[in-house]
Structure 1
Amino acid sequence: MADEYFLLVCDDVPYHVVLTDPGFRVMDVVQVVRRLTGLSLWRSKILATQVPAVILAGVPQEDAVAAVSALRVVGAQAEAREQQEPDFLKH
């Protein structure tokens, strides 16, 4: 049986929140990452210091923008990126 893949077109395109630079206030960024992801303090610190890192994946645009704003408030550089179409769907 052949595998078939379908691309669902939704109103909301999923976004990734990418931390590109934690800045000088790393522990403040770690606390924000912890609050956003629900990870432990240790895992949040690892995620915040190994950049670029995807903090949130596949979230709605409003949530991505709010997360980027929270990270920027504490001095980090972050961006919201549209989730790319998987390679197997490209023609």
Structure 2
Amino acid sequence: MTGEYAVLVCDDVPHDAVLTDPGARVLDVAQVVRRLTELSLWRSKVLATQVPAVILDGVPEEDAVAAVAALREVGAQAETRERPEPAFRKD
């Protein structure tokens, strides 16, 4: 059997919410990360200090934009990134 691939076309391309700089208020950023990811406060603080960090992975664009807005509201720098299309093997 030969390898065949199909590309599914959909309107909603997954996005990532990426924290690029927590700023001066790291604990406030960690609390927002905790609210967004439902991680513990300790793990959220670790994630907030290890930048660049993907906070939300493969979510709809509206959710990623809302997460970035919440992070920027507490003084962090964040951005949304569109997920690249998967690379297909060539046989």
Using the size of structure 1 for normalisation, the TM-score is 0.90
Q: Percent identity?
A: 77
Look up the match of 2:81: 81
Cα offset, 1:2, TM superposition: 4.4
Larger Rg: 2
Displacement of 1:89:
6.1
The gaps in structure 1 that reach 5 residues or longer are: none
Q: CA deviation at 1:3?
A: 4.4
Q: How many matched pairs? A: 90
How does 1:1-91 map onto structure 2 within 5 Å?
1-88=1-88
Distance (Å, rounded) in 2 between the aligned partners of 1:34 and 1:58: 18
Q: Secondary structure at the match of 1:87?
A: coil
The letter for the 1-side match of 2:23 is: G
- Aligned to 2:88, the other structure's residue is in SS state helix
Give the CA RMSD over aligned residues: 1.6
Q: Deviation string for 1:19-63 (max 9, x for gaps)? A: 000000000000000000011111111110000000001111111
TM-score (norm 2): 0.90
Distance 1:2 1:42 in 2: 49
Q: Distance in 2 between matches of 1:22 and 1:16?
A: 17
- Measure the CA separation in 1 of the matches of 2:13 and 2:72: 22
Deviation at 1:9, TM superposition (A): 1.2
In structure 2, stretches of 5+ residues that fail to align are none
